[in-house]
Structure 1
Amino acid sequence: MTELTDRYLFAATRSLPAAQREELSRDLAERIADTIDARIEAGASTPDTAERDALVELGHPAALAATYSDRPLMLIGPRYYLIWKRLLVFLESFVPVTVAAVAAFGMVIGGAGWEVIGQAVGIAITVAVQLAFWVTLVFAFIERYGASTGTDVDEALSWTPDQLPQLPEVRRPHRRADLIAALVWLAIAAGFVVWQQFGAVWIDGERTDVPLLDPALWSFWLPYLLVLLALEAAFAVWIYRSDWNWANAAVNVVLNAAFAIPAVWLFVEGRLLSPEFVELVQPHLDADAQWVLSVIFVAAVVGVCAWDCIDGIIKAAKGGGRGTLDFPGNRSVRSQSQV
């Protein structure tokens, strides 16, 4: 088998449970080999093009996997299921959030208080449900009453073997970019902690000497934060060298908790921001605005840290990075080491 066939097997089996993945990979590999031989013997393809032609003949790997795994694509119908799924995921990824953000902005301008958060969440959920319903209804109507044009899934999605995903590798190129981005971000964060101490507030276009964070925190908490950022940098390098596993995911949870818990506690206690900064901004904010900003800050800290923890756990569960799947022909170093 060549890399093109390996990529097809990976695309067809990556969403299946491990128990089904190996069997389906083996069956598909045999079917692809038989199709290649049959096309060459019949003169339908040359030896150079037989593999690509065989994959085109088999069709979209997701649709083929559904027929093998007793999971028929029948919510809408096999003809339009993948098109419906792609469109729905695309729309749901940004439409509800965008509508909720615009609505929340309008309510804040209109003088709404902290209740804007609950209303925005309700709007986002309502839009998401309505979007799913109407998109599904339109596709169901097309499926049942639309004229048959003979267009199949591959034609509608313009699928070709060139769109097959690359095989997962233990040393994937994106991991170096992830490492560089993490180190740059941590360096910026550490630089900001020091820089803000010399003034982070502008009045009438001129920078003042008012710090953002309380200078009293330099007695312990700000040095603690700088040490924590250094540990995060070392952890990012470690992940680059060793990849994700359950131990690393646990360390990631500890590091996030070590940041989130003190940050939220100091903020709630009123010890995080400098008194000078609070004195400057407080006259411009009423009680409701202060409450909304407080909730947003706490939710942002907890949400970002929780997301990072979940992301690490998911990567560990998948075997590292974006996940390394075992299937016949997988050329990844990890797969070969397990043979």
Structure 2
Amino acid sequence: MSYCLNPGCSKPENPDDVKFCRTCGYKLLLKERYRAIKPIGQGGFGKTFLAVDEDKPSKPRCVIKQFYPQAQGTNTLAKAVELFNQEAVRLDELGKHPQIPELLAYFTQDDRQYLVQEFIDGQNLAQELAQNGALNEIQIRQLLNDLLSVLQFCHTKQVIHRDIKPENIILRGSDRKLVLVDFGAAKSTTGAALNQTGTSIGSPEYVAPEQMRGRAVFASDIYSLGATCVNLLTARSPFDSYDTNNDRWVWQQYLKTPVSNELSHILNKMLESIPIRRYQTVDEVLNDLNQHSPVAATPAITAKPVPQPLTTSSPTFVTQSPSQVEKELEEMKTQFLGTPKSQPNKIQSPNPISQPSTKSKIDEELEELKAKYLGKNNT
């Protein structure tokens, strides 16, 4: 199916083999290659569509973001334009990273702005939480290892995300990796930008106090990630895990499963309201996180167990241990010499005079066999 991108179209559904909408005549292909399939999101500033890139043989899926502000205020509209442009600029600045959607195109068509980016197939963590319940400590540690590396990449590129929350973290279905999306609120810290007071932006539940005052810093993203972990551990809003009367976090009271003192210390330091008391860099968090309980950076959120391969031994025969060889040689010796002295009820050999010489010869042969097999096993 092709979906018409004209906001005023009364019947936007079309067959996938037509180039113009049968209802309104609107052109269905953007830049002669991107075809919308269905709407997947809508906000005050535009719509988001699942689409197909018809220019590539594999026809991979992608996402079309259409800038279509419905707010009428001049200031609001200007801010909306800034944020839409900003997302394209930030994605372009960041370049390619396996856990950030790639920017595919940014252009204007029919007096409307469009942004096309890589489609991430999976559920966001808010959906995962609703479906599977609260996370445990192992999952949170792995989540932190996975996402902190993405934040490290962003901060190295001098970009502050400014809107980290469960809804903006997608668990990709193909490899169970976490992908950070929606860079519309992202801010560059290059030049004098970091020292300028900007607009308060982000989701209030997850925003650091200094960011609420328009003074976001790198540590502001660390705060938001800490608040996200609190939400995923308690299945409660971060607002409901903070005691405003005593000005302190009380999220430990609402845990679904207990966590270690080490993880509690790390999360509380990520959530310090005064920036200077908080972790200043991602490296500081990672060092504390993996100091005592190192966890590989592979997500464990609702991950299915991977069966371990069976171990097959290359030889086609069974190798005997020295004790097994000695036991078998002792049995052979018993057959030739009679019953050992440890069994007195058995009749001894009728010729005690000839026995020592016979025993000596057999012992000698058995020693040779023992040396042959045991020597072979020991090499």
Q: Give the TM-score band, short-chain normalised.
A: under 0.3
Structure with greater Cα Rg: 2
TM-score, length-normalised on structure 2? Answer: 0.22
RCO (CA 8 Å, sep 6+): is it higher in 1 or 2? Answer: 1
More strand by share: 2
More helix by share: 1
TM-score, length-normalised on structure 1? Answer: 0.24
